[in-house]
Structure 1
Amino acid sequence: MLMKKYVSLYIHIPFCALKCKYCDFLSFDGESYGTMLRYVDALCQEIKLYAPIADEYNVRSVFIGGGTPSILDEGLITNIMAFIRKTFKLEKDAEITIEANPGTLRHQKLTGYKSAGINRISIGLQSADDEMLNKLGRLHNYDQFVASFKAARRAGFDNINVDVMSGLPGLTIHSYVDTLSRVMEFGPEHISAYSLSIEPGTPFACDQEILDSLPTEMIDRRMYEVTKKLLSANGYERYEFSNYSRPGYECKHNMVYWTGEEYIGFGLGASSYFQGKRFNNITNLVQYITTMEEISPKFVDCPNLELLYNEGVRRIRENITPMYIDSRMEEFMFLGLRMMCGISRTDFEERFKKDIYEVYGPVLRKYIDQGYMATYEDRIFLTDMGIDVSNVILADFLLDKE
């Protein structure tokens, strides 16, 4: 009997009501409802393409991200979930997340999402300060977040994440603590706390006034420390550099990335790690939609769905990179070491048929001796001191540095 293989799915919804001033994700604002309908239909056809190989896999998690997925009404999300279920077998305890912005949620939409099988919602608050939200280009205010969170609870969601950001222009430690405190009052199961990164090409990157008002490195560092202290004191366990949860509510989908498991990305520009290769979908919206519209009629009376699958993925995949053993070992280390529990020596050996010290002995011993890394039973992990300089340490796990 063949061993069942596992995969996770990422679904990209590239639409927003208004693009945030710091965002460099592949997303568009101002698209018509008709374009969204055509896109969702194309997305469903891409999912359907995988029917010839889907039986080999059980799905552990689904993450619907964007963009702003909650810009779609409950009917469209229901259609997407129906195609996923028709094509793939979902584990009984599969985690199914949708990202949402406050102000895009209402009770009917949330109950529709719940009925479609969504069991986790991630709400992008970012700040409890309305003036800051306006500066960021967010369309919602804090009261809308409160209403959205309460509506999600009423709709039956018992696994909610809230995103907050530090390092924002003009942000003080007092204001940041206020945001964290207000969020914790609602008791979300998970909190993601990220520091703002200024990305080239975004409005923020071109705004000198914004750049001049960013917190100093020392203040940003204090925000990082207060995040750990406050969330820990209120029952949240830090399990990855920027992620905190109640026990048992770690994000399964994120764990897929950090543990090097396979996932398939569906939709415009979506990235995948599947069947030993990394690749992404094409990033031209019109090309993606028209390609899938050309393929869709071929499903009718198609004598060989595997040939259709091969044609479809050939036309929408790009940047295909085989992941050879050295690349996989590197990713195992610098993704796995983002987790507080670090990596498993046994897992490394089972995956790569080598002892971890045979490959990384000198690097591991150096950082363990210096106190930047530590071991406990089978685990190897970064200490607090190591996390502070993690970029330098993780770069040392590249096997070909020349």
Structure 2
Amino acid sequence: MTLKKLELYVHIPFCVQKCSYCDFLSMPADSLVKQAYVRRLKEEIKKKAGKYKDRKVCSVFFGGGTPSILPTGDIRGILDCLRENFFLDREAEITVECNPGTLDAGKLKSYKHAGVNRLSMGLQSAENKELKLLGRIHTYEDFLESFDCARKCGFHNINVDLMSALPRQTLQSWERTLKKVVSLKPEHISAYSLIIEEGTPFYKIYGYDDETRQKGGQPLFLPTEEEEREMYRFTREFLAEKGYERYEISNYAKPGRQCIHNIGYWNRTDYLGLGIGASSLIDNCRFANEGSLSSYLDGTIGEEEPQKLTKQEQMEEFMFLGLRLMQGVSGADFLKHFSVSLKNVYGEVLQKLEGERLLEEHQGMIRLTEQGIDISNYVFSQFLMEE
């Protein structure tokens, strides 16, 4: 009997301080709150695991917040609990998100002993003035120390998170960041453009600027749309020269080092979210834990009302999630999933977007062109069908 794949996402909502651009469910907390949260998390794992005895876990991703803020031993304790209650594949990818300034050799050795085999380090920029603007707690020098420590502790699969299109950032400063990071030879680089999210300090400062840019105007502090595209083009070309394959719009990896967790998400592999606010997709049903920390700690947290996706919604997600991958989407897979051909459902849309040179067909796959990547949100929106 072949077991179905399952990915696990474990949310650790704590951080030293919230960054100015961040709209994730995260907050500072004292040691007692962190201890109580880990206890409740283990209880949730034990409670929910029974539903998934027919699943094999292919990846575990600790996200946040800053999972590495937990005391030494906590990640190992959570992983022990997961192994006791779920069937973890021996080759499962196990990732922990880390921020410089929250790591030390003892913590990293504990991760290694627990079976963590991938780290995702949040650098964002190699320019200290940009880090300060973002509200990060670390300097580039702190990052170098943490990265070197991780290597010495035996980690050979490390991602570095970077962020472009920052206020007052230039193409030249972005180039310096990329060149410094590539010189360290990480196995994976995630390079995202800054999004100005409502409800963040950045929105209060740069919201009007962002609106101006979206309308085609000249922003005062943010890079223009063309400058942002130049940063993206440089990223693509420079990283390709250095042996990094772009496998998703914002993710680049050395051969064989693509993130299983990422690919599973874009391919709609079933995943279970654990911890406050964590989302899940199981058998085409989406649901999420409520986001109240106090309710979670007192044991009264519930789940949002599950949403069973219609066939139409599944088709839409298949397209706008799958098209983020550089390989694109497969017409054969679409037919296998939905018992109807891709062109029967989306023929007119595909013809239109191919005519606009935003999509192309290659060896049975439909994928974004470089021009399509530049306006990918527009392309994705074309696959939303009217009710």
Fold match (TM-score > 0.5): yes
Deviation at 1:106, TM superposition (A): 0.6
Instruction: Name the counterpart of 1:373.
Output: 359
- Aligned pair partner of 1:324 in 310, 330, 351: 310
Task: Tell me how far apart the structure 2 counterparts of residues 179 and 210 of structure 1 sit (CA, whole Å).
Answer: 27
Q: Is the 8 A contact 1:24 1:202 kept in 2?
A: yes
Unaligned stretches of 5+ residues in structure 1: 293-314
Q: Does 1:285 align with 2:284?
A: no
Alignment of 1:288-367 (within 5 A): 288-291=296-299, 316-367=302-353
What secondary structure is seen at the aligned counterpart in 2 of 1:10? Answer: strand
- Write out per-residue CA displacement over residues 279-334 of structure 1, whole angstroms, 9 at most, x where no aligned residue: 11011101012116xxxxxxxxxxxxxxxxxxxxxx52104211121111100000
Count of equivalent residues: 377
- Aligned pair partner of 2:90 in 89, 92, 102: 92
What secondary structure is seen at the aligned counterpart in 2 of 1:193? Answer: strand
* Residue 165 to residue 208, structure 1, CA distance change in 2 (3 Å): closer
Deviation at 1:382, TM superposition (A): 1.0
Q: Is the 8 A contact 1:54 1:87 kept in 2?
A: no
Letter in 2 for 1:327: E
Q: Does 1:397 align with 2:386?
A: no
**Identity of paired residues, percent?**
47
What secondary structure is seen at the aligned counterpart in 2 of 1:52? Answer: helix
Q: Is the 8 A contact 1:166 1:193 kept in 2?
A: yes
Q: Does 1:198 align with 2:206?
A: no
Q: Does 1:53 align with 2:61?
A: no
* Residue 208 to residue 387, structure 1, CA distance change in 2 (3 Å): closer
Instruction: Name the counterpart of 2:8.
Output: 9
Instruction: Name the counterpart of 1:312.
Output: none
Q: Is the 8 A contact 1:277 1:320 kept in 2?
A: yes
Structure 1 ranges of 4+ moved more than 3 A: 208-212
What secondary structure is seen at the aligned counterpart in 2 of 1:316? Answer: coil
Alignment of 1:2-401 (within 5 A): 2-29=1-28, 31-207=29-205, 211=209, 212-291=220-299, 316-400=302-386
Deviation at 1:371, TM superposition (A): 2.4
Q: Is the 8 A contact 1:169 1:210 kept in 2?
A: no
What secondary structure is seen at the aligned counterpart in 2 of 1:15? Answer: coil
What secondary structure is seen at the aligned counterpart in 1 of 2:314? Answer: helix
Q: Is the 8 A contact 1:204 1:210 kept in 2?
A: no
Task: Tell me how far apart the structure 2 counterparts of residues 73 and 214 of structure 1 sit (CA, whole Å).
Answer: 38
Unaligned stretches of 5+ residues in structure 2: 210-219
Task: Tell me how far apart the structure 2 counterparts of residues 322 and 334 of structure 1 sit (CA, whole Å).
Answer: 18
Task: Tell me how far apart the structure 2 counterparts of residues 203 and 11 of structure 1 sit (CA, whole Å).
Answer: 26
Task: Tell me how far apart the structure 1 counterparts of residues 57 and 266 of structure 2 sit (CA, whole Å).
Answer: 17
Deviation at 1:61, TM superposition (A): 0.6
What secondary structure is seen at the aligned counterpart in 1 of 2:231? Answer: helix
How well do the aligned residues superpose, as a CA RMSD in angstroms? 1.4
Task: Tell me how far apart the structure 2 counterparts of residues 152 and 17 of structure 1 sit (CA, whole Å).
Answer: 20
Q: Is the 8 A contact 2:196 2:207 kept in 1?
A: no
Segment of structure 1 superposing worse, 156-165 or 390-399:
390-399
Deviation at 1:210, TM superposition (A): 9.9
Task: Tell me how far apart the structure 1 counterparts of residues 269 and 157 of structure 2 sit (CA, whole Å).
Answer: 23
Letter in 2 for 1:10: Y
Q: Is the 8 A contact 2:117 2:155 kept in 1?
A: yes
Using structure 1 for the length normalisation, give the TM-score.
Answer: 0.91
- Write out per-residue CA displacement over residues 11-42 of structure 1, whole angstroms, 9 at most, x where no aligned residue: 0000000110000000012x110000000110
Deviation at 1:208, TM superposition (A): 5.2
Deviation at 1:126, TM superposition (A): 0.5
Deviation at 1:261, TM superposition (A): 1.1
Instruction: Name the counterpart of 1:311.
Output: none
Task: Tell me how far apart the structure 2 counterparts of residues 272 and 228 of structure 1 sit (CA, whole Å).
Answer: 31
Letter in 2 for 1:280: A
Task: Tell me how far apart the structure 2 counterparts of residues 217 and 241 of structure 1 sit (CA, whole Å).
Answer: 17
Q: Is the 8 A contact 1:59 1:94 kept in 2?
A: yes
- Write out per-residue CA displacement over residues 91-115 of structure 1, whole angstroms, 9 at most, x where no aligned residue: 1221110000011111110010111
Q: Is the 8 A contact 2:196 2:206 kept in 1?
A: no
Task: Tell me how far apart the structure 2 counterparts of residues 199 and 366 of structure 1 sit (CA, whole Å).
Answer: 31
